[in-house]
Amino acid sequence: MIYFNKSQMPLSFNHYYIRRIWIYLFCAIALLWAIGPIYWIFVSSISTRMELYATPIKSWFPSEPTWDAYIRLFQGGGKYRGGDVSPTEGLMWKSLFNTLFVSIVSAAFVTFLSTNAGYVFARMKFKGKGVIFFFLMLMMPLPLWVSIIALFFMISNAGLIDTLTGMILLFIVFLLPLGIWLMSTFVREINPEIEEAAIVDGCNRWQLMRWIIYPLSKSGMAAVFLVSLLTVWNNFLLPLIFTRSPDSQMLTVVLSLFVGQYEVAWEDMAAAAVVTMLPPFLIALFFQRFLIRGMTLGAVK
Amino acid sequence: MQSIKNALLSLFLLALMPAALHAEKITFLTPSWGAPPDKALLESFQKESGITVEIQSVQNKDLFSRTQIAAATSQSPADVIFLTQEAPSNLVAIDMMLSLNNLQSKDPLGNDLTGQEFWNIGGEQFGVPVYAQLVMMDYNTDRLKRAGFNTPPSSWSELKSMAEKLKSSGIDKHPIAMKSSDWSWYLMALSMGDPMFDNDFKPIFANKGSKSRVAMKMLLEFFSEELISPEIVAGTVNQHSIFWSGTGTFHQGWQGSIRIGNNAKKSKQAPHVAYMVLPGVGNTWSFPAAIGIAKFSTNVEASWKFIRWYTGKANQKSIYKAFGLYPSRSSVAAELNDEGLVDGYSQILAQSKKVNELPRQALWWGPFTAKVSEEILTAVQRGADSDKTVDKIAVIWNELKSEYE
Amino acid sequence: MPIDRNRGTRQDLVFVAVILLPLIILVGILIYFPAIDSLITSFTNENLRIRRLPKFIGLKNYSKLIENSEFWIVTARSLLVVSLTLPLELLISLGLALLLTEVFPGRAMVRTLVLLPWMLPPIVNGFLWGWLLNGEYGALNGLLYQMGIIDEYVTWLRNPDTQIIWVAVVQTWTRFAFPTIILLAGLQSIPKDLLDAAKVDGASSWQSFKNIVLPLLMPSFAVALTIEFIAAFQIFDVIWTLTAGGSAGGAINPFTKTLMLYNYELVFRDLRIGLGAALSYLILFLSLGVAIVFVTRLYNQAVKS
């Protein structure tokens, strides 16, 4: 969708290219803002500590780049005097898998459940709709650690501490309110005439969902999926309290292990951060490509 | 036919059970520097004893959160827990740790373990000491020499004038690497000779004309004269990173800090760093660590076996070699020194004779010491009067004391 | 074919029940039950360090908090952070969302790249900015120095006033991807034919933006605004690692203490769970109050149009 074009056809090639230049300029600024610090993380992960301490002139690419930090990350690396034992030995791969699994499954469930619920709240009328909606949304701003003691009690009695299932269950519940709210917003934007036509044709609600709502709210569902995935990916408190062992430990807790007694192993943490950012990046890229392709095919009439 | 199958199946399962029971499992909750660094050593322990050890590493403050939440629901987060110097106030106080008196009498661990008194609270032994560390200071000998001083200062006023000389001569812009927090004040007050607390937990640091007041005044002056880098006040780094990144001549370190200080890969100060015995009376305090068993653990016997191994000679040596943490067994320390592995041994020895402990066993120590840091930071930021700050701290102590007693 | 109205509504009710009941039960058990338990705790004087049975003290925790000036200072500071962060964040994300709906090659890659800040784990984020803004060896100082903009390294975080500003900047940087995603999705669901019709009618781009895009974007905008408000109001990670950090923990920087840090202090440091729970509920009421205002004014207005 192009908002600032005065007409569908460019007036001239110049106009088209000037527009392009502006777009790329703003993109460059946006990328500088977003990626600049990330670049520093990458540089940190391949630098030595002495290079990071260099003042006042900094080299923007280390003169002696090294992959040591990454090697140490996955192997538990060298033990040498000065207090450097890699704390994440054996943990990186497992927690990467755990985090991927929990985040994808939770996000999938949340997307599915909240699209259904979003439709219900957006389109259907029934007694108590407002109350139920309010009920589901009310506790969203409640700080998590308020509930954490009682939650811990319940989850441990259910035997779900340190299990992937337990984590998934917890994340689904905490992500649902936002997901439902978002999807009800997006579903509302769908043209109701399409639905009415389908109902007149004899569709029941389930068929309506499958053939009309899901395809039409793809971008909304993608947004909810991505948001849920990233929220799980970055969450620290839940994995801290509810996981213990590599069985279900997640990346955010493993990353905190780089905070040593006296100093932070920043190069190692940076390497771990780069690795941590890779899976969500690839997933998001996939979604973006998928969404854009879907859009250019036009709306379903 | 079906019943025979069932019988065979149950017999089969029963046969498996003893095998399953043999492989006991215990969990060990620890910060990263408490995890046994020598994997081969741990493997051999697991094989010999038949106990599987699952190590759960978290950051120190997260260890407390996890344990506290579990404690609130009368559960244990793990079988064995690593205890740092805040543990008495954070873990023992919330009734999370098992008393080891029975186990110790049945199966004693040897009498060369130093520092057991710290972990004896109300007559109950809650932890077996793992390492002992003193808060020490180290300094850059080369820079001091360039400023014209060949020996480290013998009093705090001398230290201050040395620092001022270093700064004015341009050798070091911010010659003192200390934090704007509780430890800096304790360090200065204790080494000036003020015991700070008496045996009844009364805050004698608040007495008129006490050395602690002198210490606070000087500490605030360090900041106002920018003898300490303003970056410390910014709160993103601690005194160690600042020192090792090249800023600072005098550094509040710990027993073992010169190993990092003189490591050319980690510190710009290498290889000139040496310990200095604290100026003045020279008292310091220690921050020991221990290992204990959680109250609701169901594997007490196995945990004790693990503790015996953990505080044994082999593991203590490997911990020293990996982390520089001074072993609690005096025999091990002597052996390490014989092997020439302890840097700055003579200064460590000299400093270890001048120790004046702080009352970490007080239930409210945790919140108290955090509030002290806040008061000091506030005083530094606002340029507050040092006497008023000390008064405020005394009020905080007394309030907490009355709340908890 | 006559439509059997009764069958329709009965089927509909089944549909609604099948979808909503599991959610209600899940939320009820896992969210409300613990929340009510801690509400009850907030009426007691429970303290984990003092081993005695918690005593019911009614609303004393709440009055203790409200009567203490610290609560008001901390709340004001939280609102300050919000007022600095929110406009910046929403402006950036709206601008980005508009930019990224343009069609150009590499769009998918750019869209994904700008999400990267949100994919960074919070603990790394804090240390990252600590390194960047460091007054002794930080990258920002290095950059500005090399570009000739400054002569001497600046300790950016020395003063409490600048600390808050940087907190707002870092919080914006951390979170702007979230409203961007929401607004992008919102923009994408605006039907193209509406805009085409407007163009045919001769509307300028600014007019079509003001009269078509903005109102239709309001629901998504309201969601984004509310969520970001809550995130900024309940900020924790950024302040913790940026201003109260260094390795040894425990002490909280009193100059950047916001509501959630105060809450952490009461619950995890002082272990005064009763008081901490009361504060959490005060935070909830404050957050809800503002959230409801946003929702009723923006959201329902948009739905009506």
Domain that holds residue A23: 12-66
pLDDT band at B157 (very low <50, low <70, confident <90, very high): very high
Q: What is the pLDDT of residue B2?
A: 58
Q: Return the number of CB contacts < 8 Å for B and C.
A: 111
Average pLDDT, chain B: 89
- B86 part of contact set with chain C, CB < 8 Å: yes
The per-residue pLDDT for B282 is 93
Which residues in chain A are closer than 8 Å to C123, comparing Cβ atoms? 236, 252, 255-256, 259, 269
Confidence at residue A78, expressed as pLDDT on a 0 to 100 scale: 36
Q: What percent of chain A has pLDDT over 70?
A: 86
H/E run at residue A230: helix A218-234
Query: Can you say whether residue B250 is alpha, beta or left, with left for phi > 0 and alpha for psi between -120 and 50 degrees?
Result: beta
Are A257 and B57 within 8 A, CB to CB?
Answer: yes
Same domain, A39 and A134: no
Average pLDDT over every residue of A173-178: 94
How many domains are there within chain A? Answer: 2
Contact A153 B246 (CB under 8 A): no
A62 and A174 share a domain? no
pLDDT tens-digit map of B346-380: 898 899 899 999 998 888 998 899 999 999 999 99
Winning range, highest mean pLDDT, from A11-15, A201-205, B152-156, C289-293: B152-156
**Residue C121 to residue A7, Cβ atoms within 8 A:** no
Q: Are residues A16 and A139 in the same domain?
A: no
Rounded Cα distance, B255 and B275, in Å = 9
A118 and A224 in a single domain? The answer is yes
Task: Give the model's pLDDT for residue B186.
Answer: 95
Say if residue C96's pLDDT is above 80: yes
| Cβ neighbours of A150 in C, within 8 Å | 33-34, 37-38
The answer to the question of residue A120 being in a domain is yes
Give the span between the Cα atoms of A124 and B48, in whole angstroms: 67
CB within 8 Å of B382: residues ≥ 6 apart? none
Q: Does B336 touch chain A (CB under 8 A)?
A: no
Are B139 and B276 a contacting pair, CB within 8 Å? yes
pLDDT at residue C195 tops 80: no
Q: Which of A48-62, A156-170, B64-78, C56-70 has the lowest mean pLDDT?
A: A48-62
Cα B77 to Cα C218: distance, rounded to the nearest angstrom: 47
Range with top average pLDDT, A282-291, C1-10, C247-256: A282-291
Please tell me the predicted confidence (pLDDT) of residue B396: 95
Domain boundary among A66, A91, A108: A66
Beta bridge pairs of residue B197: B203
Say if residue A118 is in the same domain as residue A194: yes
Give the pLDDT band of residue A73 (cuts 50, 70, 90): confident
* Chain C residues near any Cβ of chain B (below 8 Å): 48-51, 129-131, 133-137, 155-158, 160, 163, 242-255, 265, 268-271, 273
Identity of residue A163: T
- A114 and A170 inside one domain: yes
Chain A residues close to C102, C-beta within 8 Å? 2, 23
Are residue A140 and residue A195 in the same domain, yes or no? yes
Residue identified by tokens 């907030």 is: C42
Q: How many CB atoms lie within 10 A of CB B19?
A: 8
Does position A298 have pLDDT exceeding 70, yes or no?
no
Any domain includes A5: no
Task: Calculate Rg over the CA atoms of chain A.
Answer: 24
Judge if A52 and A87 occupy the same domain: no
pTM: 0.89
CATH number at A177 reads 1.10.3720.10
Q: What is the pLDDT of residue B397?
A: 95
Chain-chain contact of B93 with C49 (C-beta, under 8 angstroms) = yes
Q: Are strands B135-140 and B250-254 parallel, antiparallel or unpaired?
A: antiparallel
CB B90 within 8 A of CB B68: yes
Q: Alpha-carbon distance B312 to B319, whole Å?
A: 11
Q: What pLDDT score does A209 carry?
A: 84
pLDDT band at C172 (very low <50, low <70, confident <90, very high): very high
| Per-residue pLDDT tens over the stretch C103-127 | 888 888 999 999 999 999 888 988 8
Does residue A74 lie within any of the structural domains? no
With an 8 Å Cβ cutoff, is A8 touching chain C?
yes
Helix (H, G, I), strand (E, B) or coil at B136: strand
pLDDT confidence of residue A7? 44
A290 in reach of chain C (CB within 8 A): no
Report yes or no on A2 lying in a domain. Answer: no
Is A72 among the domain residues? no
pLDDT value for B7? 61
Cβ distance C252 to B370 less than 8 Å, yes or no, reads: yes
Identify whether residues A34 and A107 lie together within a single domain: no
Q: Is the peptide bond before B271 cis (omega within 30 degrees of 0)?
A: yes
Is residue A75 one of the residues assigned to a domain?
A: no
Q: Which residues contact B37 (CB under 8 A, 6 or more apart)?
A: A79, A85, B318, B319, B321, B322, B323
Interface with chain A: mutation pick from B25, B33, B69, B268, highest number of A CBs within 10 Å: B69
Q: What is the mean pLDDT of residues B51-67?
A: 90
Are A221 and A147 contained in the same domain? yes
Nearest to B265 by CA among A72, A264, A51: A51
Question: Mind listing the domains of chain C with CATH numbers?
Answer: 42-304 (1.10.3720.10)
What pLDDT does C103 receive? 84
Helix pair A144-157, A164-188: axis angle to 10 deg: 130
Which chains have 3 or more CB–CB distances shorter than 8 Å to chain B?
A, C
Q: Read off the pLDDT of residues B233-244 as tens digits, 9 standing for 90 and up.
A: 887 788 998 999
- Do A244 and A98 lie in one domain? The reply is yes
Rounded Cα distance, B259 and B139, in Å: 13
Would residue A246 count as lying in a domain?
Answer: yes
Of C3, C142, C196, the CB nearest to A57: C142
Cβ within 8 Å of C, B 101-140 = none
Quote the pLDDT of residue B93: 87
Q: B29: which strand partners?
A: B56, B81
Q: Can you name the residues that pair with A231 across neighbouring β-strands?
A: none
A176 with C27: Cβ contact below 8 A: yes
- A117 and A60 in a common domain: no
- Sign for the CA dihedral angle at B30, B33, B39, B45 comes to negative
Contact yes or no for C49 and B363 at CB 8 A: yes
Report the residue of chain B nearest A241, measured CA to CA.
Answer: B66
**Is residue A158 within 8 angstroms of chain C, CB to CB?**
no
3-state helix, strand, coil in chain C (%, to 5): 75, 0, 25
Band (C247; pLDDT cuts 50, 70, 90): very low
Mean pLDDT confidence for A153-168: 93
Residue B278 DSSP one-character state = P
Instruction: With H, G, I as helix, E, B as strand and everything else as coil, classify residue C116.
Output: helix
CA B111 to chain C, closest CA, distance in angstroms equals: 32
Q: Is pLDDT at C1 greater than 50 in this prediction?
A: no
Q: Which of A142, A195, A297 to mutate to test the interface with C (most CBs of C within 10 A)?
A: A142
Residue A264 in any domain: the answer is: yes
